[in-house]
Amino acid sequence: MAVLGTESTARQATVLVIDHAPACRDALRSLLQERGYNAIAAGSGEEGLDLAVRAQPDLVLLELALPGIDGLETCRRLKANPATSTIPVIFVSSRAGTDDIVAGFEAGASDYVTKPARVAELCARLRAQLQSKRSAWALECAAMADPLTLIPNRRQFDRFLEKEWQRALRSGAPLSLLMLDVDHFKLYNDTLGHAAGDACLQQVAGVLQRHAARATDLAARYGGEEFVLLFGETPAEAAARLAEAVRADVESLHISNPRSPTSNWVTVSIGVASVLPSRHASLCGLLLAADRRLYEAKRAGRNRVVA
Interface residues with ligand GH3 (CB under 6 A) are 148, 181-187, 189, 194, 197-198, 201, 224-225, 298, 302
Interaction partner, residue 34 (Mg ion, ligand GH3, none; CB < 5-8 Å by kind): none
In sequence order, which ranges of the chain are alpha helices (DSSP H)? 22-34, 45-55, 71-80, 98-106, 119-144, 154-171, 185-192, 194-211, 236-251, 283-299
Query: Which amino acid appears at position 92 of this protein?
Result: V
How far is Cα 130 from Cα 45, in angstroms, rounded to an integer? 22
Q: Of residues 63, 146, 181, 217, which one binds Mg ion by CB under 5 A? A: 181
3-state SS assignment for residue 6: coil
Q: With beta carbons less than 8 A apart as the criterion, state whether 28 and 76 touch.
A: no
The reply to whether 164 belongs to the active site is no
How far is Cα 239 from Cα 226, in angstroms, rounded to an integer? 18
The Cα angle at residue 251 between residues 247 and 252, in degrees rounded to 5: 115
Distance in Å, CB of 93 to ligand GH3, minimum: 53
The catalytically annotated residue of 63, 225, 244, 251 is 225
Query: Which one of 30-38, 188-196, 218-226, 272-280 is the stretch in contact with Mg ion (CB under 5 A)?
Result: 218-226
Distance in Å, CB of 249 to Mg ion, minimum: 18
Q: With beta carbons less than 8 A apart as the criterion, state whether 203 and 298 touch.
A: no
Q: Which residue number, 86 or 189, has a Cβ lying nearer to Mg ion?
A: 189
How far is Cα 158 from Cα 161, in angstroms, rounded to an integer? 5
Distance in Å, CB of 199 to ligand GH3, minimum: 8
Interaction partner, residue 198 (ligand GH3, Mg ion, none; CB < 5-8 Å by kind): ligand GH3
Q: Which residue of this chain has its Cβ atom nearest to ligand GH3 in the complex? A: 197
Torsion (CA) 31, 35, 36, 38 in degrees, nearest 10? -30
Q: Which residue number, 22 or 223, has a Cβ lying nearer to ligand GH3?
A: 223
Q: Of residues 37, 185, 222, 231, which one binds Mg ion by CB under 5 A? A: 185
Distance in Å, CB of 307 to Mg ion, minimum: 19
Residues at the site binding Mg ion, with contacts judged by CB under 5 A? 181-182, 185, 225
Active site amino acids: 225
